[in-house]
Amino acid sequence: MKTMNYDAAVIGAGAAGLAAALELDAQGLKVALIDREDHLGGILMQCIHNGFGLQEFKEELSGPEFAERFIVRLPGTHIDVRLNTTVLSFDKAPASLAPEADGQYLVTGVSEEGIIALIAKVIILSTGCREKNRGNIRIPGSRPAGVFTAGLAQRLVNIEGYIPGKEVVVIGSGDIGLIMARRMTWIGCKVKAVVEIMPYPAGLNRNIVQCLNDFDIPLYLSSQTTNIFGNDRVEGIEVTPMEGGMMLPEKTFRIDCDTVLLSVGLVPENELARAAGVELSGTTGGALVNSRFMTNLPGVFSCGNALQVHDLVDWVVEEARRTAACAAAWIKGDRPKAELNIKAGANVRYVNPVKLDISGTNKISLRSMVVKNDAVLEIRDGDKVIKSIKERHVQPSEMINIPLGPNDLEGKVSGAALEVRII
């Protein structure tokens, strides 16, 4: 078994992994960038639509163009890119392996070379996210061909050159589903509807306008898919409207179609992290991290969609850079002097990270549980409001980022608990 030594191992070479690896290299560290695919860029490479890079590059790019801005920077760095390599596990390196490995991590994987082992001082988990499928939402009915996740359909169309079907219904109004409704229309398919169980869309407003409204694709809100019909191939779906959270069976209707695309949510990909003992959030499925994006395992960090599902890849890149800088500082012995706990309060689904550095600069990310105009975000210490921010509009599909610095946390003591709420 071949063993190699690095300062950092970055697992996953999508947007987060690329940004993290480049930041670690800029800090003078020896980095291994590992991905199971045969290409860099992750899911970006099948996202041929534009809308990427407005924050990061101040211009509108496609997914491959966005990824390329980072990939072209790799030559000339000391980053060891290892594609076609699947990480099987990571754990504390046994002292018997090598004297210098004490306290470091042993990353084991399989590649074209066979079984490999990497010794690293820190690990950054940038493994991205995966789509929920039919089993996650338990749609009744038979199991015919023609049911795809929206991301799989995107790959079939944009990478493989296949058309999944001719008459399409999209279940769920997540951004990938909305984008695929437009994409399927462009290639000559008939998109009959997008069906969403919630009373509001799950995707960004711009995608509702550009992908549905511009093509007159119906959007059924507060509507549950209650059956999928068909034996060998999908023949249609059954939709039951809802009111006040209750189904109205007398208003049930059918939409004939031969293809169903599921866009019912994304989950951080953390099976590797779970197996290693990383503590995960029951709300997001991502790791629970401190103010430096470090998990409960010392030296193991998490960022990007592996930590929380972002609405913009630009925020993924920014978060990955901050995480890499924190990992580099950790290697050099820098630790937060004192941390506060922070948790989600009223109308907030979650907050990340779950700890704040009292003497440092923090940026928390959160998602609203409500759709609300003229909302107020409050950071509270018990009954005292320590920061208040007005937002013109909040909704679950859009991430909210709030900076918190030493002035905001002045006088707070280590271990105290703050709460963020939306009113």
- Helix 15-26 and helix 313-331, axial crossing angle in degrees, nearest 10: 40
DSSP string, 196-250: -SSSS-SS-HHHIIIIIGGGT--EE-SEEEEEEE-SSB--EEEEEEEETTEE-GG
Tens digit of pLDDT for each residue in 283-315?
999 999 999 999 999 999 999 999 999 999 999
Residue 247 burial by Cβ neighbours in a 10 Å radius (0-12, 13-18, 19+): middle
CB 299, CB 334: distance < 8 Å: no
Whether the per-residue pLDDT at 80 is higher than 70: the answer is yes
Outline where 27-140 has alpha helix (H).
63-71, 134-137
- Taking domain 341-422, whether its CATH number is 2.60.40.10 is answered by yes
Tens digit of pLDDT for each residue in 222-271?
999 999 999 999 999 999 999 998 999 999 999 999 999 999 999 999 99
Q: Looking at residues 316-338, what average pLDDT do you find?
A: 95
The gap between the terminal CA atoms of the chain, to the nearest Å, is 57
Tens digit of pLDDT for each residue in 350-403?
999 999 999 999 999 999 999 999 999 999 999 999 999 999 999 999 999 999
pLDDT recorded at residue 96: 72
Single out the residue of 2, 29, 275, 261 nearest to residue 146, CA to CA.
261
CB neighbours (10 Å) of residue 333?
Answer: 6
Domain ranges in the chain with CATH number 2.60.40.10: 341-422
pLDDT recorded at residue 262: 97
pLDDT recorded at residue 131: 95
Rounded Cα distance between 277 and 259, Å, is 40
Outline where 265-384 has alpha helix (H).
271-276, 313-331
Q: What is the CATH number of domain 2-130+267-335?
A: 3.50.50.60
Tens digit of pLDDT for each residue in 30-43?
999 999 999 999 99
CB neighbours (10 Å) of residue 41?
Answer: 22
Tracing tokens 């199971």 back to the chain, one arrives at 36
Tens digit of pLDDT for each residue in 129-179?
999 999 888 899 889 999 999 999 999 999 999 999 999 999 999 999 999
Single out the residue of 335, 332, 362, 353 nearest to residue 8, CA to CA.
332
Domain ranges in the chain with CATH number 3.50.50.60: 2-130+267-335, 133-264
Q: What is the CATH number of domain 133-264?
A: 3.50.50.60
pLDDT recorded at residue 103: 77
Rounded Cα distance between 344 and 354, Å, is 9
Strand partners, 302: 125
Helix, strand, coil distribution of the chain in percent, nearest 5: 25, 35, 40
Sign of the Cα pseudo-torsion (247, 253, 258, 263, in order): negative
Rounded Cα distance between 226 and 298, Å, is 46
pLDDT recorded at residue 99: 62
Task: Give the tokens for residue 73.
Answer: 């920077």
